[in-house]
Structure 1
Amino acid sequence: MADETPAPAPPVAAPPPPPPPAVTKSDSPAVVEKEDPSLPSPVDVVSVSVTESVSTAIEDKKEQTPPAEPVELVPDSTDKAKKEEPPLPPPPQPVESESESPAVTEKAKEEEPPAATEKAKEEEPPAPAAATVAVLETELQQPPELPSQEVVTESKSLAAMMEKEEAGAPAPTVSTTTTTSAEEDVAVVVEEKKIPQNLGSFKEESNKVADLSDFERKALEELKRLVQEAIDAHLFTSETKSEENPDKEKKEEPKEVSIWGIPLLKDDRSDVILLKFLRARDFKVKDAFVMIKNTIRWRKEFGIDELLDEDLGDDMEKVVFMHGQDREGHPVCYNVYGEFQNRDLYQKAFSDEEKRMKFLRWRIQFLEKSIRKLDFSPDGINTIFQVSDLKNSPGPGKRELRLATKQALQLLQDNYPEFVAKQVFINVPWWYLVFYTMISPFMTQRTKSKFVFAGPAKSAETLFKYIAPEQVPIQYGGLSVDYCDCNPEFSDADPATEITVKPGTKQTVEITIYEKCVLVWEIRVVGWDVSYGAEFMPNAKDSYTVIIQKPTKMSPKDEPVVSQCFKVGELGKVMLTVDNPTSKKKKLVYRFKVKPYCD
């Protein structure tokens, strides 16, 4: 993180102050230039700005279309209103929906469009003139767009839940890099009105005793008392011992009881463990105590301590793996069900009861090792962010997979309470929505509030809400490579910037260079289907623009990430341009690094 009071640069090397954001008018939509606040400059030798303009393909179409339509519409609408309905009261115009009296409506009706613009300026004196014009153009020409849905709305309950998760998600960093035009502001206002806020979205509670309510604090103290009595009476250990010599057992000192390597009654970490069981049972002390007792018994029967040292192979390492962390610091676990399309792997995991049990033991072993890496201090991260990729999933028709899944879910629900920070399902097929709709009534509201669903088109965008792009694996739209791959220039610690490229627009990332250096960058557009080009424009008047990469149409089959570098020997700016001529918005992700110049 940059210091709050950075040391001033020497006068010679200090860059000129960046120009303020400006809105320029042209025959095409407004071009907005602004500084990119989400990606601080690595050093004082560069600055970054993002420019949005109309797509080249759209401009070409507009040049071929004769601009005769606006001239015909204005006089026809005014004459028709005056001649056809003179005795009737003037109908309310759809644009002037905020007028408060018939007099205002009639006045707007008699005046020409320029007068309407002047009236709008008088009603909103604090707003800048350029912004006022943009708002009026948006109201007159573009109907408000309905917010897009993440998945198919097969049922009302599922659709409502998805809308809640969409609204309750933490604001992504892309909001700081998108255009500041008034058209976008209007679209955001409309979307906020359409999507209800999710007041029930799950948020992790504090594990500090001082932050608990009186009721919760009393429940914790009562549970600690019951656990202490059980330890003193050997209730957690006597069930596995023979009762041939009960007198000898009574003379033994109570043994310390631990779960996940944490003693149940020792320090503040113990309180975190007990609070997990209490929250799983809605702070019903007796139910939480029974759950603890059953969990301890199951761990002995399942042989958890021995399981940690077993060698169960690495055949499933692509099915379940840990990679990176989310924006709040939770480790992220990816569950890739599509790997079971491999028939040999499927048979090896689920063909009979013995193999299903081995897979279950492998999955529990993986979870136990992951849990032991968590921080159980009151301020620590002690939950895991789960991502379930349902692309090419075998589906509910596979009986063996269905049985194994049911068995695993039951064990996790009964013996691993409150270890899921958020459960995000991506690449969700239609059949899973139907399946979820059937089982949803049997889930608690607390469990359902952790779920987020996204179809294939929204998967990367949904992940970016919770996980920074540099932490998301490449196969899911991010920039993070497998830890075993060679990537000398960038790591997960190097931050990336997200930009939403709207349909029919062109985004240009300008990196201004103030000193000689070597500029290295990575850039990708999720799903591509856009044109990408890069060039260097020197400041000197007699210099020529250097084409680093001529504009090239990038298809979804091309390399997901483009890595490039350029040796800057004179002052100027590197311009990365993404042209989106399609009717769909695209997610642009990039990052760069400045290296010393060498001859």
Structure 2
Amino acid sequence: MEEEIEKGCHEYSEDDEAKAFEEEEMIFSLLNVHENNNSIHQVDHLDSKNIIREDEIFVASLQMKLRKKKALLEFRCMVEDAILGNYILENPKVNLSKKEMNKMIEQLGEITLWGVPLLPSKGHEGTDTVLLKFLKAKDFKVQEAFNMLRKTLKWRKDYKTDAILEEDLLLDLDLDKVLYVNSVDKQGNPLYYNMYGAFKDKEFYKRVLGTEEDREKFLRWRIQFMEKIIKKLTFKAGEAGSVLQITDFKNSPGPEMKELRAVSKKAFFLLQANYPEIIHANILINVPFWYYTSLLVSSKLVNHRTKRNFIFVRPSKVTQTLLKYITPENLPIEYGGLKRDNDGEFLPEDSASEVIVKGNSSRSIKIPVSEAGVTIVWEFTVVGWDVTCREEFIPEDEGSYKILLRKSKERKMGECVRNSFYINEPGKIMITIDNATLKKRRVYYRSKIKPFVPNYIINNIK
């Protein structure tokens, strides 16, 4: 088995060395083209500068791509050697018989991280994805990435992380209001919500964080929760390989809750050290001033790449920012989206349409209904609101009558209008948005038609 694994590594290495050499040759040829362009286009100085600049950007991009490929190749072989050399977890043990050594190597050959085999020569499609996370966390410095991987594997062994999903931790507490996963972002990655406001309840706070033992158990539950999220990741190219985290400080208890701050800080550094690039972005909303102060104090301990993953959002920009990452169908209504818990009317697959209402103008949304004897359900939300809206039913024979269903005053973020109406003749639902502000407003809306069920049938079913 050992000979087969080593052979696989050497074959991979030689092939990739050849590819790397070809890419280097291509870069050198492009550099020559760049020099030729520089001399040929001196007559037209402006065009020459533009062409040279484009060449420089293109060559720099190729050089960076080549650097990353070389780093991955080197990292793969380093991990392979460490596994086969029996020092991926710790220094190799001496005085072992050949049989014991072969058995240990065979066991290490099956080592995995987040369910993905780490031995590159096994050819698993997720191995490179996992290794790249460590390389990215260390800016493609191979030795640093290797050291980080070894420390992570040792921590998981000492912390017994691989068995943590089987443990019953804090199941008697209502922790769904602290951390939960709700739908996915635009790339299909899980949405991970972290709600500090749950700890404003002093009784809940005491039950969860009252003693040192409670705090250690809560910390372990946090790690368990992260492992559950990772189970949703495939680590396959083009599929879910990371998590988008929304951290909401609304109604958070404040800086005096030192136990919460201490546990949160410890959890943060554990995740940073052992789950690189698993959280690809952390959007922080309703952030209090004390948190900024706390972050400044600890900023020297946070690596540069992790800092870039933090996105601080002003209250007025919450919906607008979240919609860059999340579709309105998957964004909860409290953040300005259309998603409701246990929704009996719409599914996330029921896609919404978008219209723009320009500043200081009105716009109408028409939802036609061509059949009678059905109930139509619709909903809409306006990014930023500060508008008024009117909902009407207008029959096809517009000269007959109109029914005003609702006339709303100005609304605030976190509100989503939903309404329904029984249609007894063909017509249309008309939603009119009056925008008196100078800024444009985005409106997301959707509708569906349901067959009408008389009340006497519903009562008989009950």
Distance 2:94 2:200 in 1: 51
Distance 2:96 2:210 in 1: 45
> For residues 196-595 of structure 1, what are the structure 2 equivalents within 5 Å?
213-236=65-88, 249-254=100-105, 255=107, 256-265=110-119, 266=122, 267-312=124-169, 313=171, 314-440=173-299, 443-482=302-341, 485=342, 487-499=343-355, 505-516=361-372, 518-525=375-382, 531-540=388-397, 542-549=399-406, 551-553=407-409, 560-580=415-435, 588-595=443-450
SS in 1 for 2:405: strand
Deviations 1:235-270 (A, max 9, x none): 24567x997866663242511211111110222211
| Aligned CA distance change for structure 1 residues 380 and 583 (closer, same or farther; 3 Å) | closer
Whether the 8 Å contact between 2:381 and 2:443 is mirrored in structure 1 is yes
Distance 2:256 2:167 in 1: 32
Whether the 8 Å contact between 1:429 and 1:455 is mirrored in structure 2 is no
Distance 2:67 2:359 in 1: 53
Aligned amino acid, residue 250 of structure 1: M
Q: Which residue of 2 aligns with 1:53?
A: none
Q: Which residue of 2 aligns with 1:103?
A: none
Greater relative contact order: 1 or 2 (C-alpha under 8 angstroms, separation 6 or more)? 1
Aligned amino acid, residue 377 of structure 1: K
Whether the 8 Å contact between 1:526 and 1:560 is mirrored in structure 2 is no
> For residues 88-103 of structure 1, what are the structure 2 equivalents within 5 Å?
none
More helix by share: 2
Aligned amino acid, residue 415 of structure 1: N
SS in 1 for 2:409: strand
Give the drift of 1:232. Answer: 2.0
SS in 2 for 1:252: helix
Distance 1:541 1:268 in 2: 61
Distance 1:591 1:529 in 2: 21
SS in 1 for 2:329: helix
Give the drift of 1:367. Answer: 0.4
SS in 1 for 2:177: coil
Query: Which blocks of at least 5 consecutive residues in structure 2 are unaligned?
Result: 1-61, 455-462
How many residue pairs match? The answer is 384
Whether the 8 Å contact between 1:356 and 1:404 is mirrored in structure 2 is yes
Distance 1:226 1:305 in 2: 24
Give the drift of 1:429. Answer: 2.6
Aligned amino acid, residue 433 of structure 2: V
Q: Which residue of 2 aligns with 1:109?
A: none
Whether the 8 Å contact between 2:362 and 2:435 is mirrored in structure 1 is yes
Distance 2:345 2:103 in 1: 60
Whether the 8 Å contact between 1:461 and 1:587 is mirrored in structure 2 is no
Whether the 8 Å contact between 2:272 and 2:306 is mirrored in structure 1 is no
Aligned amino acid, residue 389 of structure 1: D
Distance 2:200 2:453 in 1: 51
Give the drift of 1:407. Answer: 1.0
Whether the 8 Å contact between 2:316 and 2:384 is mirrored in structure 1 is no
Distance 1:388 1:274 in 2: 27
Greater Cα shift, 504-513 or 274-283:
504-513
Deviations 1:370-422 (A, max 9, x none): 11220111222201011110112223332212211221111111111111222
Distance 1:251 1:288 in 2: 27
| Aligned CA distance change for structure 1 residues 433 and 582 (closer, same or farther; 3 Å) | farther
Deviations 1:263-287 (A, max 9, x none): 1022221111111111111222211
RMSD after superposition? 3.2
SS in 2 for 1:533: strand
SS in 2 for 1:308: helix
Deviations 1:446-503 (A, max 9, x none): 3233222212222122212211111011222222122xx2x33211111123556566
Distance 2:267 2:139 in 1: 23
Aligned amino acid, residue 67 of structure 2: F
Deviations 1:503-535 (A, max 9, x none): 654442222344545422113446866544311
Aligned amino acid, residue 386 of structure 1: Q
Aligned amino acid, residue 511 of structure 1: I
Whether the 8 Å contact between 2:364 and 2:433 is mirrored in structure 1 is yes
Deviations 1:418-446 (A, max 9, x none): 11222111122333344445555654443
Give the drift of 1:225. Answer: 1.9
| Aligned CA distance change for structure 1 residues 441 and 289 (closer, same or farther; 3 Å) | closer
What TM-score, normalized by structure 1, do the two folds share?
Answer: 0.58
Q: Which residue of 2 aligns with 1:79?
A: none
Q: Quick check: which has more Rg, 1 or 2?
A: 1
| Aligned CA distance change for structure 1 residues 584 and 343 (closer, same or farther; 3 Å) | farther
Greater Cα shift, 253-262 or 584-593:
584-593
What TM-score, normalized by structure 2, do the two folds share?
Answer: 0.74
Distance 1:515 1:338 in 2: 47
| Aligned CA distance change for structure 1 residues 315 and 578 (closer, same or farther; 3 Å) | same
Q: Which residue of 2 aligns with 1:170?
A: none
Query: Which blocks of at least 5 consecutive residues in structure 1 are unaligned?
Result: 1-209
Aligned amino acid, residue 220 of structure 1: L
| Aligned CA distance change for structure 1 residues 248 and 412 (closer, same or farther; 3 Å) | same
Distance 1:340 1:286 in 2: 41
